[in-house]
Amino acid sequence: MNFPYKGVLFDMDGTLVHNALYHRQAWQEVALELLKLVVTNEDYALKVDGGRNPEIMARLTGQVPAPEAALEFHNAKEGRYRDLARGLLSELAGATAYLNWLEEHNIPCTLVTSSDPVNVEFVFEQIGLGQRFVHRVMGTDVQNGKPHPEPYLRGAALLGLEPEECLVHEDAVNGIKSGLDAGCTVCAIASHSSVESLLAAGAQFAVPDFMVWLEQIQQGELQKS
């Protein structure tokens, strides 16, 4: 079998589920309303996508937000996201088939997401993959969010594996950096950006979706960029 990894660590938003555009819209709207900031698509890709709200606020404003302000923003932004996305979410192509393949080959998985427990359940209630992820690292479980390596270091540790033994699936530049700095191999999922941009961000592999990735595995075509 041409699959040298003992464990797989999955990001959630934009990786397992088509919801990235709803997160971006919510961030842009609430940042304008509460922070008086215009967040461009480029700002979102480089500074926002994949991170936790308080740390993102600090990157955008240059100041660490007060706890009360951070909580107000978090509640407003995540509530807006859920309003936008409710009833509209779907899994990425091939996600279930790939998870089935991993299970058949006794390769364990961990969910590693910046989302809080409310958003994790919101997603899994709609796409039905929650039972696949007994092991979870959520944004509330770490001291340092992505792009810091802590989330993926913890994800590997939950499986009893070294990071070098794990494959990470990510869709965001900040998540790719987190996985790479943890010592993992990264296969990026180009659900809302180009394969080329994710390879340029450092991912060793990049594919449009899990259907393509699974085909490459089964055909023995895994070659790092």
pLDDT tens digit string along 140-198?
A: 999 999 999 999 999 999 999 999 999 999 999 999 999 999 999 999 999 999 999 99
From 137, 125, 225, select the one nearest 178 (Cα to Cα): 137
**Right CATH for 20-85 from 3.40.630, 1.10.150, 1.25.40, 1.10.760:** 1.10.150
* Angstrom distance (rounded) from CA 133 to CA 153: 17
Q: Could you tell me the residue ranges of all domains in the chain?
A: 7-18+90-218, 20-85
Place 1 in a pLDDT band, splitting at 50, 70 and 90. low
Phi and psi dihedrals of 91, rounded to 5? -75, 155
- pTM here is 0.92
| Tokens 């770490």 sit on residue | 142
CA distances 58 to 1, 31, 142, Å, are 45, 12, 17
DSSP 209: S
What is the DSSP code string of 77-93? HHHHHHHHHTT---BPT
Q: Token digits for 144?
A: 């340092």
* Angstrom distance (rounded) from CA 59 to CA 125: 32
From 162, 170, 163, select the one nearest 202 (Cα to Cα): 170
From 159, 171, 204, select the one nearest 186 (Cα to Cα): 204
The pLDDT, as a whole number, for residue 223 is 67
From 8, 6, 13, select the one nearest 146 (Cα to Cα): 13
Average pLDDT over residues 115-142: 97
Whether the predicted pLDDT of 7 surpasses 90 = yes
Place 49 in a pLDDT band, splitting at 50, 70 and 90. confident
User: What would be the CATH architecture of the domain defined by 7-18+90-218?
Assistant: 3-Layer(aba) Sandwich (3.40)
CB 216 within 8 A of CB 196: no
